[in-house]
Amino acid sequence: MINPVGSAELEPLFVYDPDKHHALIKEAQDLPSIVVSSAAAANAVMMGGGYFTPLEGFMSVADAMGCAENMKMTDGRFFPVPVLNLVESLDGIGDAKRIALRDPNVEGNPVVAIQDVGAIEEVSDAQMQTMTEKVYRTTDPKHPGVAAFNGQGRYAITGPIQVLSFSYFQSDFPDTFRTAVEIRNEIREHGWERVVAFQTRNPMHRAHEELCKMAMEGVDADGCVIHMLLGKLKPGDIPAPVRDGAIRKMVELYFPRNTVMITGYGFDMLYAGPREAVLHAYFRQNMGATHFIIGRDHAGVGDYYGAFDAQTIFEEEVPEGVLDIEIFNADHTAYSKKLHKVVMMRDVPDHTKEDFILLSGTKVREMLGRGEAPPSEFSRPEVAQILMDYYQSVN
């Protein structure tokens, strides 16, 4: 099985031992505490599940700057984005050496982790601007990732963490949320050696379905892990429970049995385009995938990134030898009226725009909102019905 990034074994930070877990929960009651940002809570969940192996906790400003500028921490270890615990105020922390990190996304703000305070640093405006520019390729405050990153505060609390909770992800998505440890174990149980991972924050239409099948056939994979983001999205995106139901219906009806794992992870979308694609590849290797699909405008938003920047970054910017996972570069996919099947557009140079069934996301949402199913060549009818029910419930 493929090794985790920079490590022979996964290093999850969740405290699984029940006695230690109970003792830490008890200790947390008497520690100074702070309600962290949603991004920091999600990062803790990812570290807890082993996805960010071999990180041991929240980065120093120097490490975060190194990751932003050249994807390497000060000790030379590779990581593609800063992982910071940024807070607006240090009230209540004082000179504490250990603090409880409280979850902003769960009622009552329960403890998500305990952090050893290595240092508290104030991040300068210049440093925030550099990190923003390098990771997001823009400082436009209208970019949802830029707004979220810059809205967290300017004090960085550095230090290792012990994770005590997977936030709301485990309780709200018991059939879908999986840690990297659990996915690796399930891949091993299946006996899969070559595994394709597919990232999604949206329901899957025919083009996505066929892309997974093309990738599996193209790399002779034993199975596919559909790995959906379960954390915070931008307004207007379809909620995770609706996506989950639609994807499960598609897999049930249109994939061979025992070839697909439907899983999810607890993280807030960055919308960082190319840099987020590298992060996605990083933690897909950690969960055991050998191949990762990256298509048009992967992890993008608006017009901030070129259509295939998320593919070229692996050739132009990612340091050589840091990742073992292989990238399956996908073109835009659409249904060909000529060939009566979904194709990658680059594979049919004789086609014109009129030879494809092409629908914008806006057009599809409008149709679903009116109770109209998109063409069956675009969306499976059973999937479309789930989405129509959702859109009509919110209109």
Residue 120 falls inside a structural domain: yes
Q: Using one digit for the tens of pLDDT, what is the confidence trace for 139-165?
A: 999 999 999 999 999 999 999 999 999
Q: In which domain, by residue range, is 361 found?
A: 176-394
State the pLDDT at residue 332.
Answer: 85
Pair 50, 12: CB distance under 8 Å: yes
Q: Using one digit for the tens of pLDDT, what is the confidence trace for 304-326?
A: 999 999 999 999 999 999 999 99
Q: Single out the catalytic residue among 98, 194, 202, 296.
A: 202
Name the pLDDT band for 241 (thresholds 50, 70, 90).
Answer: confident
Residue 294 falls inside a structural domain: yes
Q: Single out the catalytic residue among 98, 154, 201, 365.
A: 201
245 shares a domain with 318: yes
Residue 10 falls inside a structural domain: no
State the pLDDT at residue 100.
Answer: 98
Residue 243 falls inside a structural domain: yes
State the pLDDT at residue 22.
Answer: 97
Using a pLDDT cut of 70, give the percent of the chain over it: 99
186 shares a domain with 131: no
Cα separation, 70 vs 320, whole angstroms: 12
Question: Is residue 57 over pLDDT 80?
Answer: yes
Cα separation, 301 vs 318, whole angstroms: 22
Helix (H/G/I), strand (E/B), else coil: 375 = coil
272 shares a domain with 166: no
Question: Is residue 237 over pLDDT 80?
Answer: no
Residues with Cβ < 8 Å from 128, sequence gap 6 or more?
150, 154
81 shares a domain with 46: yes
Cα separation, 261 vs 287, whole angstroms: 12
Active site residue 201: yes
How many structural domains compose the chain? Answer: 2
Which one, of 279, 263, 266, lies nearest residue 187 by Cα? 263
DSSP H helices in 268-372: 273-286, 309-316, 361-369
Question: Is residue 89 over pLDDT 90?
Answer: yes
Q: Using one digit for the tens of pLDDT, what is the confidence trace for 191-216?
A: 999 999 999 988 888 889 999 999 99
State the pLDDT at residue 94.
Answer: 86
State the pLDDT at residue 239.
Answer: 83
63 shares a domain with 112: yes
Active site residue 105: no
187 shares a domain with 159: no
pTM summary value: 0.94
Q: Calculate helix-pair angle for 61-70, 125-136, nearest 10 degrees.
A: 30
206 shares a domain with 163: no
263 shares a domain with 202: yes
Residue 123 falls inside a structural domain: yes
Mean predicted lDDT score pLDDT of the chain = 94
Residue 153 falls inside a structural domain: yes
Q: Which of 170, 195, 214 is the last residue of a domain?
A: 170
96 shares a domain with 60: yes
Q: How many CB atoms lie within 10 A of CB 96?
A: 17
145 shares a domain with 241: no
Using a pLDDT cut of 90, give the percent of the chain over it: 80
Name the pLDDT band for 367 (thresholds 50, 70, 90).
Answer: confident
Residue 284 falls inside a structural domain: yes
Cα separation, 39 vs 47, whole angstroms: 12
